[in-house]
Structure 1
Amino acid sequence: MTIIDYKKGENKGALFIHDEKNYSACTAVESSKRFKTLRGAIAWLNARGYKEA
């Protein structure tokens, strides 16, 4: 598994790459969600104001 850190001000988030077509995006304050595409997970985090750290 690969973990990519994301930040929104002081709040932290992460993108988890489990394997092909299995991704999770998680935020410290809001929620988490599973995705089938990497692009979708990144878009979900960016829509909430999180940027790659």
Structure 2
Amino acid sequence: MPASTDPTNPDEALAKRLVDSGHLHSQAAIDAFRTTDRHALPRTVPAGSAPSAGRAE
């Protein structure tokens, strides 16, 4: 399924916010957020429970 780029699409809006805030970097991750139904994503993740991304600055 191709990624949506319609700014009124809630999945696209979420992906755009995450890219603009610096949380998403790779095209694969951006595409995943655009194509994954939002109800499939966790609502909250307790602080400190997510693994470190370990990406170089």
TM-score (norm 1): 0.28
TM-score, normalised to structure 2's length? 0.26
Q: Counting helix residues as a fraction of each chain, which structure ranks higher? A: 2
Q: Larger C-alpha radius of gyration, 1 or 2?
A: 2
